[in-house]
A and B are shown apart, each in its own frame.
Chain A
């Protein structure tokens, strides 16, 4: 009787004003593979030696064809993009190379940006630029299932350049992020060579 009355009142109110219902529950997250950090960093949240950068390339999550080039600076991750599989110079249909950083325990506090030092060497016109996408697993993300992400285009040409990417979900409400790990990928893949010699979580 009471339930019927409640339903009647709710239905009547809904008809007069209209209503929307969505009982979406809280998403659950199953963590992915962990990436240990066997190499102590010489500076907090900065990976810029060959040994430190290798943690990013040699783990269970990172994918793609990487090598560590020691001829330039203290060592750099090199990624050769071959263009399309049909031999064309422009875009590859292969999965984007992805690099996952080590687990940071305790989390890196108050991270406001992700920065790399890189060279993008290509003979293609400037309109064929790859974009760096970053994602951060943060303990203070807006929701447990949200990994703040962002992206920025790389600039071609010799000489080391810095690219700083600010996560788009980082705003006045959430503030800087407490990061457990970061990962990034590059897409599309026009023919060329990408070298990264420093990865930094900026706080």
Chain B
């Protein structure tokens, strides 16, 4: 956290507005699939899938929250969440143009499970009914990540993106990992082709 916050501030303060052909709305929602892998003795990979929320704080800078579940997710979902800053240095002038971006962020893990009702018959013939319930855990921010990717608009109402990032888990002994994702974004209100300053 102590390293990430100054970095975020530095990147945010370096924003330079420029002429752009495509204007993004304030909010975009989307989803992504991909895989996650550890960098170390184990090169095993696991598929991940999850939603993403993007808040465009300007035409070049955005904050994104993504929740990536390590599948299979039932009956217990376990995964990672990422809160990342995304900067888009420049936007293309046409729908078919490719937009590069880079990201820096943080995150943690989450866990959610659903425990079904179960009945315990005791030796005296009585029955204890434990009602169904859910359990969950959200870790504190313990991941630092950096990455980048490419985005391309399909139409006014959708875009696709491909991104990758490396991240370090800072507790539980610490380890390095990476993730590769392909996703779609749906701009709430649609992209606009207005030129802005």
Interface set of A (CB-CB < 8 Å, partner B): 11, 14-33, 60-61, 98, 100, 135, 137, 145, 147, 181, 183, 185
Chain-A contact segment, one of B43-51, B89-97, B122-130 = B122-130
Lowest 10 CB-CB distances: which A-B pairs, in order? A32-B125, A18-B140, A32-B126, A25-B131, A21-B136, A14-B138, A30-B127, A28-B129, A24-B133, A145-B128
Which residues from chain B contact A31 at a C-beta distance below 8 Å? 126
Q: In the complex, A11 Cα to B81 Cα: how many Å?
A: 11
- Describe A's contact surface by its main secondary structure: mixed
Q: Which of A17, A19, A183 contacts B123 (CB 8 A)?
A: A183
- Which residues of chain A have C-beta atoms less than 8 A from B123's C-beta? 98, 135, 183, 185
Q: A32-B124, A98-B123, A183-B124 given as contacts; is B130 within 8 A of A19 (CB)?
A: no
Give CA–CA (A22, B124) in the complex, Å. Answer: 29
B124 touches A100 (CB 8 A): yes
Provide the residues of chain B in CB contact with A11, threshold 8 Å.
138
7 additional A-B pairs beyond A16-B141, A30-B128, A137-B124, beta carbons within 8 Å, are A18-B138, A18-B139, A20-B138, A29-B127, A32-B127, A100-B124, A147-B124
Q: Are A27 and B130 in contact (CB under 8 A)?
A: yes
Q: Which of A18, A145, A181 is most buried by chain B, counting CB atoms within 10 A of its CB?
A: A18
B134 interface residue per 8 A CB criterion: yes
Min C-beta distance of B108 to chain A, whole Å? 6
In the complex, chain A residues whose CB is within 8 Å of the CB of B136: 20-22
Contact across chains for B108 and A28 when beta carbons are under 8 A apart = no
Pair A22/B133 contact, Cβ less than 8 Å: yes
Contacts A16-B140, A19-B137, A24-B133 given; indicate if A29 touches B126 (C-beta within 8 A): yes
- Complex-state Cα separation, A17 to B139, whole angstroms: 7
**A-side contacts of B2, CB under 8 Å:** none
Shortest CB distance B188–A (Å): 14
Q: How far is the CA of A26 from the CA of B122 in the complex (A)?
A: 17
Q: How far is the CA of A100 from the CA of B126 in the complex (A)?
A: 12
Please report the C-alpha to C-alpha distance between residue A191 and residue B124 in the assembled complex, in whole angstroms.
25
Instruction: Indicate whether A23 sits within 8 Å of B134 (C-beta atoms), given known contacts A15-B141, A28-B129.
Output: yes
Report the minimal beta-carbon distance from A104 to chain B, rounded to whole angstroms.
14
Question: Which chain B residue has the least Cβ–Cβ distance from A28?
Answer: B129
Also in contact, A15 and B140, with CB within 8 A (given A22-B135, A23-B133)? yes
Contacting A at CB under 8 A, from B49-103, are 81, 83
Known contacts being A100-B124, A183-B123, is A27 close to B138, with CB within 8 Å? no
Which residue of B108, B126, B139 has the most chain A CB atoms within 10 A of its CB atom?
B126
